Every structure is written in C-alpha cells, then in structure tokens.
Amino acid sequence: MIIDGKAADAQDGRLIDVENPATRQVIAQVPRGGEADVDRAVRAAAKAFESWREVPPRDRGRLLMKIADAVEAEIEPIARTVALETGNAIRTQARGEMKVTADVFRYFGGLASEAKGETIPLGENMLCYTRREPIGVVGGIVPWNMPVGLGTLKIAMSVAVGNTLVLKAAEDAPLGLLRVAEICQQFLPPGVLNLITGFGEEAGAALARHPLVRKLSFTGSTEVGKLIMHAAADRIVPVSLELGGKSPAIVFPDANDDKTVDGVITGMRFTRQGQSCTAGSRLFLHRDIFDSFLEKVTAKLSKLKIGDPLDEATDMGAIINRKQFDRVCSYIKDGLGQKEGRVLIGGLPPKDGPLAQGYFVQPTVFAGVANDWRIAREEIFGPVMVAIPWDDEREAIRMANDSHYGLAAYVWTRDITKALRTAHAIESGWVQVNQGGGQMPGMSYGGFKQSGIGREYSLEGMLDGFTQRKCVTVNLQ
C-alpha cells in the first residue's frame, strides 16, 4: 500500500492473493489493509491537506500533467498488469483503459484552475462573492472492472481542486492502480494520495466510517452503495455513488444494419465480458426486424476470439473471479430453465478444454425473454444479453423504464425525431444515439434511480462533487 508517501504493509502483516482469472493462478500478494491502516492513511491525508490546499491551482494542475506524461510512458507494462489481474484482453480493453488513464490526469490537470466562484449583485454597498473550496480528505472506493481508470478519476478530481485522498483499490485488481499511485508519489507531496489494498468489509467499511473523511466517492454495486450512503448519513458527509445498471438498447426497424449490430455489441461491452455498469444488456428490438437482426448479432458474436488476455488476437478475456463466474453461470442456468426462453448463442461454459482453465464465459444471447424475468431485471455483470420484441414505441419506452436502474441507454434509428423523443423519454443519466462507446472526460456521468447519485467525469462533476461553496459578504459602507 502507499501511506504518507511510503510503501506500507498491513499493520498485522496479513496478505491477500491476487489471482489471474484466465489461469486461476496466484500472480501476486498485496497487503490486507484493515482499520488501523486506514486510520494511518486518513491521518496522513488530513495532515497533507493543510498545505496541499494552499498550493496554487495551476501548480496542482501542472503536477497532474506531469503524472499524465509519466503514466503515458508506462502504458504498455501497466496494461499488461491490468490484463493479468482483471482477465480483460489487452488489445480490446486494458491498453485502452491505460490511455484513458493518462488522458484523465491531463484533462483534470487542465481544469485545476477552473474552480471559480461568482459575484452576487446585492447592491453598490455590498460585495458578495463565492469561493469554491476543497472539502478535505476524500475517501474513494473503486471496483475491479476498470480498476485503474476509475481510481484515476477519483485521484484527479480530488487533488486538482485541493483535496487529499485515501483510495481503496479493489481486492481483485489492485496491481495496476498501485503502480499508478506509485508514479503519482514522484510528483505529489507525501500524504496527498494514499492507496489502501484490502477487502471491502474491512478496509472499505473502515474508510467509509472514518470521522476525518469529509467526502465519499464510491463506484461499485448498488448493494454496497447503500451501505456507503448510510455511512455518509451518519456523519452528514457528501457522497457520490456510481452504481449498477441494466441498460436498454432500443432498435427501431430502420436500423437493421451492420453498423447498429456492431454498436449493440460494443454497447453490451461483450469484449469486457459484459462487466460494465453501462452494458446495454436489454436489447429491445422492433418485432419486424427481431429475427434478422439477431441473426446478424449471433453471426458476429460467433467470430469473437475468447482466450488469453495477453494474446493480441484475443477479443474477449475472462470473468474476474470464481464468485462472479458462478453468479453469471447461475443466471444463464436460470435463463435456460425458462420454457419460453431460447438461447441463440453461448450458454453454460465448457467443462473441459482450454477455456475451462480460466473463468471464461462465451457471449450469450437469450430471445423470447419477458421483461419481468430475473435475467431481464437483475444486473448480471457478465456477457449475457436478453432480446425482447416490441411493436409500439411507447411500449418500448415503458419496458426500458421498467427498471430500478437508470444508468445508460442506447437508441438506434436514423429518424432524428424518434431518436430524440426516445432519448428524452428514457429514465437514465446517459443516452447514446447511434453509438455504443464508452464515457469520455468532459461528460457529466452518473445515474438516475438506484444507479447512483451525483455526477463525475466532468468539470461540473468535479466542482459539485469535490469542492464546497463558501459565500463571503462584505459591507462596503
């Protein structure tokens, strides 16, 4: 771990194994941080805050730019580490994640001096203005599915505006983020960024309830998000939560083409094994194109190469761990057990052969699914998509919105009126029209309903989530 600028073991010396999900072999061990380690880290961050908040914003930004350059120089080795620990394929995922990581440092470095205030016109004899001040120690907790990119986002937004940070890495994929945090230490004063490794119920929970943490920023499951929000409520600290999703992709009859098929596959994040909170996992297809569109989807999916994440030819790697693998399989079993359900491609993973060496699951598509089935309602976090037909636009929107989640959505049609009408009617924080790609710095990203609270990834997200407004009123008479 990294505490107060130095490498640190857990106080009690305990360790966690990090497994390569493609081979099920242990590739490293990291400290199993606990309450005492979190406390040390938070105290170091609180001490560093006193001087870090006074560093001129442009200087803070310049340091982030230097970190961006240093990370960029190491994209390849860190991407290999990320591929090894997550099972994500290097060509389709891990390398891209590292490029985004460098970009995020650079983007927020450039925005560091944009934490501007306002003046309020209260009359000639009154000067009233606001300042955007840092909040203090931020407690950040990140998941394993994009471990370095999401961790970096919390680091960059926090420190750009003068906060300090204790970040809890995901227990399944801490290695890439550890290396990035190590690079940061070459540029940031000790204590500004502290990185803890450990389990959620131990290190994560200790961080969420620590009295010196003044802001919580969490990305992970809705279930744990609720615990974080409770911990925040106990001390009245601001919290941002980026949680799960079960995002709809609505395809109109005029979009029965290859570009849409490719976009739907990208939107479902099949090449991340579906392990993305924005995965467009509910495919609502107009009945007229239902069969022909799905034929094209399955034809393309059958060509995806599954296997060794480090092989440049691989499109799709492994599921992160045994627990998730079993969970995904139990959803597939559930789908296979439904009488009306039809599996068009994929299904349960092979029990022998090379793919049985790791947690590999083939891309799986179910048709004949009703919107109230478990596989259509719950977030599977695996490469499993359900296809549901619709006849009427309003019916499609009603089904799309019939979910306790509201993170992302995809609309496919060449008719701009229909596209925008649908985009506006969908209850989700992010709607993409005729594309299925990932978030980019600058977008205010976050969810409606139980997909979260607060927005991150943008200037506004940084200002609203990582600074607090102070109003100063001066009597000039």
Could you list the active site residues? 242, 277
Q: Which two tokens stand for residue 177?
A: 């983020």
- If you ran DSSP here, which 8-state letter would residue 390 be given? E
Q: Would you tell me which residues interact with ligand ADP (CB under 6 A)?
A: 141-144, 168, 170-171, 199-201, 204-205, 208, 220-221, 224, 227
For helices 57-72 and 95-111, what crossing angle results, to 10°?
160
Q: Measured from the CB atom, is 81 or 222 closer to ligand ADP?
A: 222
The CA distance from 53 to 413, in Å, is: 49
Shortest reach from residue 1's CB to ligand ADP, in Å: 14
Q: Which two tokens stand for residue 127?
A: 């000067």
The CA distance from 93 to 124, in Å, is: 57
Q: Measured from the CB atom, is 34 or 200 closer to ligand ADP?
A: 200
Q: Measured from the CB atom, is 108 or 218 closer to ligand ADP?
A: 218
Shortest reach from residue 407's CB to ligand ADP, in Å: 14
Determine how β-strand 137-141 pairs with β-strand 164-168.
parallel
Shortest reach from residue 224's CB to ligand ADP, in Å: 3
Shortest reach from residue 304's CB to ligand ADP, in Å: 23
Extract the runs of DSSP E, i.e. beta strands, from 14-161. 15-20, 25-31, 119-120, 126-134, 137-141
CB atoms within 10 A of CB 58: 11
Angle at the Cα of 285 from the Cα atoms of 281 and 286, rounded to 5 degrees: 165
Shortest reach from residue 325's CB to ligand ADP, in Å: 13
Distances from the Cα of 208 to the Cαs of 36, 226, 242, 454, in angstroms?
A: 14, 12, 15, 17
Q: Measured from the CB atom, is 272 or 286 closer to ligand ADP?
A: 272
- If you ran DSSP here, which 8-state letter would residue 5 be given? T
Encode 127-159: b = buried (16+ Cβ within 10 Å), e = exposed: eeeeebbbbbbbbbbbbbbbbbbbbbbbbbbbb
Q: Measured from the CB atom, is 143 or 176 closer to ligand ADP?
A: 143
The CA distance from 374 to 214, in Å, is: 38
Q: Measured from the CB atom, is 16 or 63 closer to ligand ADP?
A: 16
Shortest reach from residue 393's CB to ligand ADP, in Å: 34
Angle at the Cα of 9 from the Cα atoms of 8 and 13, rounded to 5 degrees: 165
Q: Measured from the CB atom, is 21 or 200 closer to ligand ADP?
A: 200
Shortest reach from residue 216's CB to ligand ADP, in Å: 9
Q: What residues are paired with 217 via a beta bridge?
A: 140, 240
Closest CB to ligand ADP: residue number:
200
Q: Contact, 51 vs 67, CB < 8 A?
A: no
